[in-house]
């Protein structure tokens, strides 16, 4: 997978604090605008083949239940046979083992079926509280993105250099966190799916095809690692430090106020570590497209 050289974060004009403090929000799924974000999508916990295997007569699974059942027997019954003898007696009678399993099967099937919604709720709750998402886009010239995420073209965009180590902090080959991941756009439904059918990509990186215009890449991080937590008791906002060298350009919206450029330029001039190019979106009236025009260097 080829990572784009640059990715973009759209911001409203009041969010100049992102550049000033060099802290950016990793947003919990429940605070994003897609209500299906990071929602596990499955109908059943296990496929029928796995249920049949789990319900197949096996002393490995039956023995703990038998020992628990023995402990609940009246003392008079326990005087007739030891716990080990009780377990061995049933183990040596295959027909009895099968009978015990068949008696247990309806209850086990009912539990597996009824627990699926609860399992989805538990997974969603954990993800919504413990995972933060930094969403970036491949596109700098999208009318929709400027409109939706930069206050109708009045905000600005930070261009990030994806070669920076900030985006390459995975701790193992299978790590889901701390590195850039490309979002997959496809429509899904839960019909016929089991917990075995979903994986990290399915939960963490898949969005409906209607969001494809966002051309999103994302970085996931545990909310517990946030540098700062605002409003910790009510809709917390998790801010993470980023290195100033990761910002390669600041792009002003085509309809930004006259004072936005001086404010951003002042932040850059006062911080010796910030060296982005300052640019602005221009409206090409003939092509009806957005174009990036460089205004000045950082110093």
Model confidence pLDDT, tens digit, residues 54-91: 666 566 667 787 788 888 888 888 888 899 988 888 77
Cα separation, 32 vs 24, in Å, equals 15
Model confidence pLDDT, tens digit, residues 266-288: 999 999 999 999 999 999 989 99
So where are the chain's domains? 6-38+132-296, 48-124
Size of the chain in residues: 299
Cα separation, 7 vs 199, in Å, equals 26
Q: What is the mean pLDDT of residues 125-145?
A: 95
Q: What is the pLDDT of residue 239?
A: 97
**Dihedral angle computed from the Cα positions of residues 101, 123, 203 and 48, in that order, rounded to the nearest 10 degrees:** 10
Q: What is the pLDDT of residue 169?
A: 93
DSSP 79: T
Q: What is the pLDDT of residue 100?
A: 67
Cα separation, 70 vs 67, in Å, equals 5
> Lowest mean pLDDT: which of 51-60, 83-92, 122-131, 207-216?
51-60
The larger pLDDT score, comparing residue 177 to residue 55, is at 177
Alpha helices in the chain (DSSP H): 17-21, 48-55, 59-71, 75-78, 83-91, 94-130, 143-149, 200-204, 260-270
Q: What is the pLDDT of residue 295?
A: 84
> Lowest mean pLDDT: which of 31-45, 139-153, 168-182?
31-45
> Does residue 299 carry a pLDDT above 70?
no
Q: What is the pLDDT of residue 298?
A: 47
Q: What is the pLDDT of residue 296?
A: 58
Cα separation, 214 vs 6, in Å, equals 15
């Amino acid at each position: 997978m080829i990572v784009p050289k640059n990715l973009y974060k759209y911001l409203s004009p009041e969010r100049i604090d992102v550049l000033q403090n060099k802290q950016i929000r990793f947003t919990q799924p429940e605070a994003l605008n897609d209500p299906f974000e990071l929602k596990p999508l499955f109908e059943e916990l296990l496929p029928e083949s796995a249920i049949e295997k789990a319900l197949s007569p096996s002393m490995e699974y039956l023995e703990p239940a038998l020992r628990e059942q023995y402990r609940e027997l009246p003392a008079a019954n326990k005087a007739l046979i030891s716990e080990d003898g009780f377990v061995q007696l049933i183990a040596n009678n295959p027909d009895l083992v099968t009978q015990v399993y068949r008696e247990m099967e309806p209850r086990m099937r009912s539990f597996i079926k009824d627990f699926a919604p609860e399992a989805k709720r538990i997974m969603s709750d954990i993800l919504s509280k413990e995972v933060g998402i930094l969403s970036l886009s491949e596109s700098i010239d999208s009318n929709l993105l400027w409109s939706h995420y930069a206050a109708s073209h009045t905000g600005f965009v930070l261009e990030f250099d994806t070669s920076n180590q900030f985006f390459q902090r995975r701790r193992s080959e299978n790590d889901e966190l701390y590195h850039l991941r490309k979002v997959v756009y496809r429509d899904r439904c839960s019909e016929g799916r089991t917990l075995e059918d979903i994986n990290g990509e399915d939960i963490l990186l898949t969005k409906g095809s209607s969001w494809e215009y966002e051309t999103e890449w994302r970085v996931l991080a545990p909310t517990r690692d946030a540098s700062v937590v605002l409003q910790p008791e009510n809709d917390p906002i998790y801010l993470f430090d980023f290195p100033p060298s990761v910002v390669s350009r600041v792009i002003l919206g085509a309809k930004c106020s006259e004072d936005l450029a001086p404010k951003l330029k002042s932040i850059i001039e006062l911080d010796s570590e910030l060296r982005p190019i300052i640019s602005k979106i221009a409206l090409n009236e003939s092509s009806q497209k957005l174009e990036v025009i460089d205004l000045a260097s950082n110093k």
